[in-house]
Amino acid sequence: MKKWQVAIVMLLAALGSWFTVGTQAQAKTYTIATDTTFAPFEFQAKGGKYKGIDIDILNAISKKENINYKLKAISFGAAVQQLSANQVDGVIAGMNITPERKKTFDFSNAYYTSGVVMAVAKDSKIKQFSQLKGKTVALKTGTAGATYAKSIQNKYGFKIKYFNDSNNMYNDVKVGNSAACFEDYPVMSYGIKNGIALKIVSKQYEAGDYGFAVKKGKNAKLLKKFNAGLKAIKADGQYKKIVDKYLHSSESSLTGETASSRTFIGLFTQNLGTIGSGLWMTLELTVISIILATVMGLALGVLGVMPGKVGPAISSTIIYIFRGMPLMVLAFFIYIGFPDLIGHGFKIPAFIAGMITLMLNEGAYTGAFVKGGFQAVDDGQMEAARSLGLPYWTAMRKVIMPQGIRIMIPSFINQFIITLKDTSILSVIGIVELTQTGTLIIARNFEGFKIWLMIAIIYLVIITLLTWLSNWVQRRIN
């Protein structure tokens, strides 16, 4: 009794402090979103810090113009969506200035000009677009490469497959699932220089300008400062220095990694900090979500077996909605859709959104089995309790719940494990948890196999520990 009360108070206090921190941070600081894997414009260097042309330019301009900002690395698609939903103030992510985008966003002056190229596997015989007929082409959603490839798709008769980040796209071409990919020249050339086994086989098409974007009609002051700063760093030579630094060097000198550190152990020790913080985020999300989902699930379960029709109807509806909705859709809805609906610049921190998402989804599943557990308790138990004069809720609490919960324990353990794994889906709204950490590390070192193996082992280890803990609790209760 006492312990869970303390736990809830602590939880509420923690939630409260997040909200305050959140609002304080929003007071003066701009939130600028960037892509997670778009080297050399943005990528995570050793130790988890973001680097790249975009990042350095933004940094240099901010210094010149005294802009306070917080960088938020999420996928490109999510960054664009969040900008249009007012979740972030600006986006700098190698974003092409297109007439289409100009309808929704205001752009700064172009800070870089780039073209689209086609890349194929090193041993591929494909040299021309005409050889793509009937084959699959890998594209990254929302990029100039994707737009260009789409525009020539009918003419050359290829199929299209979309990816959310560059590395998966490159890998798909490398392993031969896709015949080619289309990518911005500097990005592709940087990747190849850093060990991606692809080659560029076309000239640059559709030369386009990269611009810094804000939502149309908003943050004009920020845009003005950006333009002024851009002019200043071009004038004093800083701009050229930044671009040269990334386009004329190899990745290892930038990220601080050496060839000898590419063994499994080497990679692990090197990325310990990044993986550790990702793991911590995963655990934090898991624990908080499990607590919230359990509370919600118990409430739904109790409501579901209440006498009368209203309680069960409410319970079934909530379970129906949140169990039926894919977790990812729910996450996007809460993080991007919901603030959009409310308007007035309402923002919801990604962590809070992620927590609510998990609470609703896992809570609905929990509610379903809690209800089933209560129903599995013999009707005679409730009758015996009531016939003694115990009120409904006392009978529920003292007689039905203790028996029902015992029935539910295996389901609870199962749900905890599912919750832990489901945290990985929250990477789509930019939460850097364990899975996203893996994506980020691979984005700079392209060691897909070793890093995913590492991440998989870590998940298995935590799940094993969680199972042991649950079994111990189960033995204690029985």
Partner 1 sequence: MAKVIVKDLHKSYGDNEVLKGLNLEVQDNEVVCMIGPSGSGKSTFLRCLNDLEIPTQGQVVISGYDLSDKGTNINLVRENIGMVFQHFNLFPHLSVLQNITLAPVQLNKESKVEAEKTARDLLATVGLSDKADAMPKSLSGGQKQRVAIARALAMHPSIMLFDEPTSALDPEMVGDVLDVMKKLAAKGMTMIVVTHEMGFAKEVADRVVFMADGLIQESGKPDDLFDHPKSPRLQDFLEKVINV
From candidates 168, 381, 467, 474, binder to partner 1 by CB under 8 A: 381
Nearer to partner 1, 249 or 387 (CB): 387
Structure tokens at 166: 């560059």
b/e sequence 61-80, b meaning 16+ C-beta within 10 Å: bbebbebebebbbbbbbbbb
Residue 403 CB coordination number (10 Å):
15
Helix (H) or strand (E) holding 180: strand 180-184
Quick one: which H or E segment has residue 334? Answer: none
Q: Which is nearer to partner 1, 323 or 386 (CB)?
A: 386
- Angle in degrees, 0-180, between the axes of helices 401-422 and 448-477, rounded to the nearest 10: 170
Candidates 56-64, 125-133, 136-144, 386-394; binding stretch for partner 1 (CB under 8 A): 386-394
Q: State which of positions 118-177 bind partner 1 (CB under 8 A).
A: none
Interface with partner 1, residue 218, by CB under 8 A: no
Q: How far apart are CA 300 and CA 368, in angstroms?
A: 8
Q: Stretches 5-13, 96-104, 389-397, 452-460: which one binds partner 1 (CB under 8 A)?
A: 389-397
Kindly provide the residue ranges of all beta strands, DSSP E only, lying in 39-111, ordered along the sequence: 43-44, 50-51, 69-73, 90-91, 105-107
Can you tell me which of 63, 127, 159, 398 binds partner 1, judged by CB under 8 A? Answer: 398
86 is written with which tokens? Answer: 């007012």
Q: Which helix (H) or strand (E) holds 456?
A: helix 448-477
Q: CA-CA distance, 138 to 441, in Å (whole number)?
A: 21
Query: Any contact of residue 393 with partner 1 (CB under 8 A)?
Result: no
Beta carbon nearer to partner 1, 230 or 385: 385
Please tell me whether residue 305 binds partner 1 under the rule CB under 8 A.
no
Which among 115-123, 133-141, 288-296, 380-388 is the span making contact with partner 1, rule CB under 8 A?
A: 380-388
Q: Which residues contact 31 (CB under 8 A, 6 or more apart)?
A: 69, 70, 72, 87, 88, 89, 90
Distance set, CA 295 to CA 8, 170, 367, 370, 395 (Å): 10, 43, 9, 11, 19
CB of 392 to partner 1, least distance (A): 9
> Residue 75 is encoded by which pair of tokens?
């996928």
Among residues 244 and 378, whose Cβ is nearest to partner 1?
Answer: 378
467 binds partner 1 (CB under 8 A): no
- Asked if residue 376 binds partner 1 (CB under 8 A), the reply is no
* Angle (nearest 5°) at CA 371 between 365 and 375: 145
375 near partner 1, rule: CB under 8 A: no
Question: In whole angstroms, how close is the CB of 411 to partner 1 at the nearest point?
Answer: 18
| Residue 414 CB, nearest approach to partner 1 (Å) | 22
296 binds partner 1 (CB under 8 A): no
Number of residues that bind partner 1 (CB under 8 A): 18
Comparing CB distances to partner 1, the nearer of 123 and 379 is 379
Nearer to partner 1, 70 or 398 (CB): 398
Q: Judged by CB, which is closer to partner 1: 216, or 406? A: 406
- Tokens 């996450």, residue located: 331
Min dist. Cβ of residue 403 to partner 1 (A): 5
- How far, CA to CA in Å, does 236 sit from each of 230, 245, 321, 474? 10, 16, 57, 67
Tokens linked to 389: 């004069």
- Supply the minimum distance, in Å, between the C-beta of residue 478 and partner 1: 10
473 touches partner 1 (CB under 8 A)? no
Taking CB under 8 A as the criterion, the residue among 110, 299, 390, 417 binding partner 1 is 390
Select the residue interacting with partner 1 from 402, 449, 465, 468 (CB under 8 A). 402
| Cα–Cα–Cα angle for 94, 100, 102, rounded to 5 degrees | 70
Based on the shown chain and the rule CB under 8 A, indicate whether residue 216 belongs to the binding site for partner 1.
no
User: Minimum distance from CB of 396 to partner 1 (Å)?
Assistant: 12
Compute the least distance from the CB of residue 370 to partner 1, in Å: 17
Residue 337 Cβ, how far from partner 1 at the closest point, in Å? 44
Length of the chain: 478
> Is 378 an interacting residue with respect to partner 1 (CB under 8 A)?
yes
> What is the b/e burial string over 143-177, where b = at least 16 CB atoms within 10 angstroms of the residue's CB?
bbbbbbbeebeeebebeeeebbbbbbbbbbbbeee
Q: Least distance from C-beta 301 to partner 1, angstroms?
A: 17
| Closer residue to partner 1 in complex, CB, 213/382 | 382
410 binds partner 1 (CB under 8 A): no
The region of 5-13, 105-113, 137-145, 394-402 touching partner 1 under the rule CB under 8 A is: 394-402
Residues that bind partner 1 (CB under 8 A): 378, 380-381, 383-391, 394, 398-399, 402-403, 406
